């Protein structure tokens, strides 16, 4: 790669049990479920960009906090991605489909649940409505997501890198976590 472009990706996670994802309807990553985000515009901080993109793509406002940093390079593509990842545990406004994203709640289940989570929390009866949500559709998401989503759901701070081939296969990757600073 020859240059690095700044992007954001934002997740709303309610009660540690459900997460809002959007189905990308156009452009890069079309057909994949992801958080809400995009390019950091000139003059914006990554946080400002994350708040703006969440509003533009899902119609809501949330007190986002950075929870990770990811770096992606693709063979033969000049620009690599630096993605600041944000999360919030609450939001205001009405979740609204946009031209770019179709929002949908998913339940956090199985291997994506934090292993360190106290069993008292995990074992309690699911809240009304949660059980009916579909599980996170990893097979229809970027290949790297399964490695850092559990860290995000465990409320840890994560960093990582993945290198993709020109046809978007993940060739090499590394992800790690630390307690939140």
> Judged by CB under 6 A, which of 19, 20, 144, 156 binds ligand 6U4?
144
Please count the residues of this chain forming the interface with Na ion, following the rule CB under 5 A.
2
Site string for ligand 6U4, 84-123 (x = CB under 6 A): ----------------------------------------
- Tokens 């156009």 locate to 26
- Residues of this chain, 48-77, that bind ligand 6U4 according to CB under 6 A: 72
Separation between Cα atoms, residue 14 and residue 16, nearest integer Å: 5
In degrees rounded to 5, what are phi and psi of residue 7?
-130, 165
Residue 162 CB, nearest approach to ligand 6U4 (Å) = 6
Separation between Cα atoms, residue 1 and residue 78, nearest integer Å: 5
Interacting span for Na ion (CB under 5 A) from 38-46, 78-86, 111-119, 159-167: 38-46
Separation between Cα atoms, residue 122 and residue 106, nearest integer Å: 16
3-class state of residue 106 by DSSP: strand
Cα atoms in the Cβ-side hemisphere of radius 13 Å centred on 178: 6
Find the residue with minimal CB distance to Na ion: 38
Q: Where are the alpha helices (DSSP H) in the chain?
A: 46-58, 119-123, 145-153
C-beta of residue 136 within 8 angstroms of C-beta of residue 19: yes
Residue 15 CB, nearest approach to Na ion (Å) = 26
The interface partner of residue 142, options being ligand 6U4, Na ion, none and the CB cut-off 5 to 8 Å by kind, is ligand 6U4
- Tokens 């205001």 locate to 92
Separation between Cα atoms, residue 45 and residue 6, nearest integer Å: 10
- Residues of this chain, 146-175, that bind Na ion according to CB under 5 A: none
Site string for ligand 6U4, 11-40 (x = CB under 6 A): ----------------xxx----x--xxx-
Residues at the site binding ligand 6U4, with contacts judged by CB under 6 A: 7, 9, 27-29, 34, 37-39, 72, 81, 83, 142, 144-145
């Amino acid at each position: 790669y020859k240059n690095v472009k700044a992007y954001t990706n934002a997740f709303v996670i309610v009660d540690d049990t459900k997460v809002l994802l959007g189905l990308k309807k156009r452009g890069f990553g079309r057909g994949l479920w992801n958080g809400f985000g995009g390019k950091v515009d000139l003059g914006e901080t990554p946080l400002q960009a994350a708040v703006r993109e969440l509003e533009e793509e899902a119609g809501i406002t949330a007190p986002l906090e950075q929870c990770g940093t990811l770096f992606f390079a693709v063979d033969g593509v000049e620009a690599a991605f630096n993605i600041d990842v944000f999360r919030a545990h609450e939001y205001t406004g009405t979740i609204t489909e946009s031209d770019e994203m179709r929002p949908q709640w998913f339940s956090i289940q199985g291997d994506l649940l934090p292993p360190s989570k106290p069993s008292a929390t995990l074992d309690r009866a699911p809240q009304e409505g949660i059980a009916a949500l579909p599980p996170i559709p990893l097979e229809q998401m970027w290949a790297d997501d399964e490695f850092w989503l559990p860290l995000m759901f465990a409320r840890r701070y994560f960093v990582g890198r993945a290198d993709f081939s020109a046809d978007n296969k993940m060739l090499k990757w590394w992800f790690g976590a630390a307690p939140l600073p």
